[in-house]
Amino acid sequence: MDTTHSIIKEHLSGDEERVEFSFRTGTVDRHGYISRSALLQLDGPAGHDLMWIFTAHRQLIAEAALAYVTRHPMAGAIALGSNDF
């Protein structure tokens, strides 16, 4: 598997329960999301908004997304939760 990877765009979901993103590995783009609970876990007691947390932890989230794709190569979407961090 090509290990060149990046998050290419992100946005807060309509219900504000997760941040959705597009993730590129090599030449393949996948849809993914990280749950509110996982983002709040990353933030600790700081109390930042979800997009701020996502931006602050973007590289860690990208590494977790790559690990998810490696574990679940046939998955249609990347679903990151608290147990991924």
First vs last Cα of the chain: how many Å apart? 22
Task: State the residue for tokens 């783009």.
Answer: 29
Q: Using CA atoms, how far apart are residues 76 and 47, in angstroms rounded to an integer? A: 32
pTM: 0.91
- State which fold the 5-84 domain adopts: Double Stranded RNA Binding Domain (3.30.160)
**What are the structure tokens assigned to 35, written together?**
């749950």
- CA atoms of 22 and 52, how far apart (whole Å): 17
Q: How far apart are CA 25 and CA 3, in angstroms?
A: 7
Domain spans of the chain? 5-84
> How confident is the prediction along the chain (85 residues), in pLDDT tens digits per residue?
456 899 999 999 999 999 999 999 988 899 999 999 999 999 999 999 999 999 999 999 999 999 999 999 999 899 999 999 9
